[in-house]
Structure 1
């Protein structure tokens, strides 16, 4: 059955909005070429979208040309505002942008480690107040959505952060508190998953639709991107590689702790202890950088090859297990430690991995480091907001 005229117009409008989102400002002539619509249909479409407040004239295609087709049309970026949060155990970072992702304000706040225990109320209030101040500083009067990247398991059925051992209670309380205080939609996603989104869109995995991000920061984790889709698992726990049983830990993980798992080899505290055993004294580093990342940076600066090889062997154990099960073809070393190690550590891990597995797996250094969480949370919430306001992506033919 052919689409009704109103349905056809809606499909065409969404298609044009998608091109304007992905390609940037376009002329009516360019929209005609991209959509395959007739000139009158494009003219009607442009009029409808302008009247709806979705697009506006943002310039001209060239000074030598005049007339309607020379006008450049772009999405109305201030139609809605977005916020993203990177929620760590000891800090919260916030960014507020317009609908197209232009940064309007950003801020960060350290959190007292004592908030990990006891009454979560003060920590929740500090984090919520930081978001509200940053939104006010940005002049964002149309806050549409808030995206949160946080450690822990996200229930795939409810979208809520689950109670996880070792994580402060204020993490879970924060999501509920923001949902109560704001009219904006609040979406939460695992920090490693959003980091993988950022590395695929803007970082080390831009040419890959199948890869695994191995997060190396204060703790460890993994994100699985298979055939272009982020895979969360039946319970939201895909990639909880800190619990992976591996040799060399002197024990086994349990349902309530990952101390005997891969975390005991590649977490920040474990890396720092390994550095000490190799006589490495890490230098100071500004900002909230995990001590393990500082140790790796110091090792590279001082040529501590024995330490770097030992660390690469540890990381390769986790990577080999992932490779044996998923055969992703590419592992990205993300997080602060992955970025600190750069191409040198990645090459060492790839060489050791080649000795452990017959499956060829490229190992790359993440390009975004810890910043990937905030960036990924923003990209995720921006996609959702644009889909809601402009319609989901559609294909022709």
Structure 2
């Protein structure tokens, strides 16, 4: 029987409310790192009885560590609480054929475990195995996973990733989340590179930038107002499909016409044609070296620089990033070639556009993935 005038409280609603309060304490402690119970009360607005119970629970679980008292200019010394970054671990996974790289980091972004291996077999099972193996006995602390893929990702489903055998949508994110039981974020590897450079590299001092990555294909990661922009179907940045040449190469098997002609693969093939021998591992560097003694190589290098500059100007006309970072094979450009691209862009772009090399190299994806995983892990549960 329900008493008139009183609304019954659902046990589910009570549990959800408690979890939100718990997460608000964790979030406040995570941001402050070291604070008192009084500070926690001011930051969360929770009543003393509720806060005391939650703090006691979080100390027992290892989220909070008691660190003695801190001297105060007035009043009694306050007992201090420190947030334990090892209480929340995240996994950053990079699928970069023919290899897979996985790192486990704490909530400070400090890497505590790392492994790189050849990518083979079932992709989802490989990811789950790597993460579980690296996190080991600390599995209960794992609270988020980010996966970088060389293709388009929408709601965890990956497509246009021919290098890992995924052209049609494959629900990698949902499957890994179901297997590991923690939030999973899947995104294009170039988006994560851009996020990594924004967090720890050549984009730390700007909120708007475009990262142009030249590898087997060509892709761009776009950050505007400090946020990665993906577009309506998460295909923003697929600049390798732009028809920027008078006679573009045809798109096939998930490869766009521009990247078919101006990617690292295409440059490597041309370098071999210019200087028969082994296939170069650093094709742009070798092309620059050849250009010192070969007129044909100098002419081809000039074509490459004009093509990449044309791509940068096209992007600048649409999104005005202000700064463009060259990544992958494009970061192999020497100072003279970089200056030439800058001059070509400055002459044609409608607004000031600075061109720089990205600085993190292979670590850019993992910096971005750690940032993504932490973001996924710290979200408060939705009210339902």
- Does TM-score exceed 0.5, indicating one fold? yes
* Gapped regions of structure 1 (runs ≥ 5): 1-5, 113-120, 285-290, 392-397
| 1:233 positional shift | 0.9
Once residues 28 and 340 of structure 1 are traced to their aligned partners in structure 2, the CA distance between those partners, rounded to angstroms, is 52
- Whether 1:340 and 2:348 are equivalent positions in the alignment is no
Which digits, 9 at most, give the CA deviation of each residue in 1:174-200, with x for residues without a partner? 545523432223221111111111111
* Distance of 1:127 and 1:192 partners within structure 2: 19
User: Which residue, out of 294, 305, 323, partners 1:312?
Assistant: 305
**Correspondence for 2:182:** 184
* 1:264 is aligned to 2:260: yes
Q: Could you tell me which of 29, 34, 58 is aligned with 1:25? A: 34
Shift of 1:201: 1.1
Alignment of 1:76-87 (within 5 A): 76-87=84-95
Residue 88 of structure 2 contacts residue 142 of structure 2 at CA under 8 Å; is this kept in 1? yes
| Match runs of 1:1-397 below 5 Å | 18=27, 20-22=29-31, 24-26=33-35, 47=52, 50-53=55-58, 55-57=63-65, 59=67, 69=77, 72-111=80-119, 121-136=121-136, 139-155=138-154, 158-162=155-159, 164=161, 167-169=164-166, 172=170, 174-175=172-173, 177-247=175-245, 250-254=247-251, 256-259=253-256, 261-276=257-272, 279=275, 291=281, 294-298=282-286, 304=292, 306=298, 309-334=302-327, 336-341=328-333, 345-388=337-380
Any gaps of 5 or more consecutive residues in structure 2?
A: 1-13
SS at match of 2:139: coil
Q: Distance in 1 between matches of 2:304 and 2:142?
A: 44
Q: Is the 8 A contact 1:282 1:295 kept in 2?
A: no
Which has the larger Rg? 2
Q: Are the counterparts in 2 of residues 163 and 172 from structure 1 also a CA contact under 8 Å? A: no
Q: Kindly tell me: are residues 123 and 227 of structure 1, through their superposed partners in 2, closer, same or farther at Cα, counting changes over 3 Å? A: closer
Q: Number of matched residues?
A: 360
Q: Which whole-Å CA distance do the structure 2 matches of 1:342 and 1:29 have between them?
A: 56
CA distance, structure 1, for counterparts of residue 56 and residue 358 of structure 2: 44
Cα deviation for residue 109 of structure 1 reads 0.8
Structure-2 change in CA distance of 1:67 and 1:95 (3 Å): farther
The separation in 2 between residues aligned to 1:111 and 1:142, in whole angstroms, is: 26
CA–CA distance in structure 1, aligned partners of residues 177 and 79 of structure 2 = 41
The root-mean-square deviation of aligned C-alpha atoms, in Å, is: 4.2
Residues 356 and 127 (structure 1), Cα distance of their counterparts in 2 relative to 1, 3 Å cut? same
Secondary structure of residue in 2 paired with 1:172: coil
Check the 8 A contact 1:243/1:253 in 2, yes or no: no
Structure-1-length-normalised TM-score:
0.74
Paired residue secondary structure (1:200): helix
TM-score normalised to the size of structure 2?
0.76
